[in-house]
Chains A and B, each alone.
Chain A
Amino acid sequence: MKKTHVKTNDVIFQTVTKVVAFIIIIYSLHLFFSGHYTPGGGFIGGLMTASAFVLMLLAFDIKTVVNTLQVDYIKLTATGLLIAVLTGVGSFFFDVPFLTHTFDYVQLPLLGKTALATAVLFDLGVYLVVIGVTMTIIQTIGETE
């Protein structure tokens, strides 16, 4: 394949990415919050958020994305694991077995009567771990000398 050394211009791709990345992130948040009653959950939500970040990595470069997001993905993975373990430990304060989850109906100002389950906090841990692990793998492989 012929390699041209003309400086290429990705203006269409970069403009599309600026719009589409937000749509993917909002979709991933929708998948994350809909995981209790409909298909979705922390795993696929985290993968979709990571794919929005991957799209940004493709359109721009590692330096720009790292400077924009300012996230240390290894610390993000550790935070996710800590949240997941703490939701399990929290059940000890109510004299129930490890990882026992509960839910309650709460009147929220804008949403009305909503069922808030502690399983969402565990799912938040899964979400953060999936983002952290995926982005660590892709950034480590993508970094070339």
Chain B
Amino acid sequence: MFMIVMTLSLVIVAISTLLYVYRLVKGPTTPDRVIALDAIGINLIAITAIISIVLSSSAFVEVILLLGILAFIGTVAFSKFLEKGEIIKNDRNQ
């Protein structure tokens, strides 16, 4: 029963990721693609958590926080590029 629930949730998250990939490919504007990438990152966190429950191992717990941090930094860098044209400024007061 437990494995059925875990497999079912894994399938649901996988379908959701595939729909995000559709938005990533199809998305008319760049912000659509950035948000799709961010959501794919969050779905990867969910997949990692479910896999680590299925394998009953705590070795992937670090990966979860790592993916969260990397998805955040990546999205922030993309949004800053879209808004200002440069990612890292020399002096923001100029």
Interface residues of A (CB under 8 A from B): 1, 3, 8, 13, 20, 24, 27, 31, 38-40, 44, 48, 51, 54-55, 57-58, 60-64, 138-139, 142-144
Contacts and interface: CB of A to CB of B under 8 A. Distances in A.
Interface in B69-93: 69-70, 72-73, 76-77, 80, 82-92
B73 A62 contact: no
Interface of B is mostly: helix
Given A58-B73, A60-B92, A61-B90, 17 more contacts: A8-B84, A13-B76, A20-B72, A39-B59, A39-B62, A48-B66, A58-B77, A58-B87, A61-B88, A61-B89, A61-B91, A61-B92, A62-B88, A62-B89, A63-B90, A143-B90, A144-B86
B51 to A, nearest CB: 14
B88 A55 contact: no
B65 interface: yes
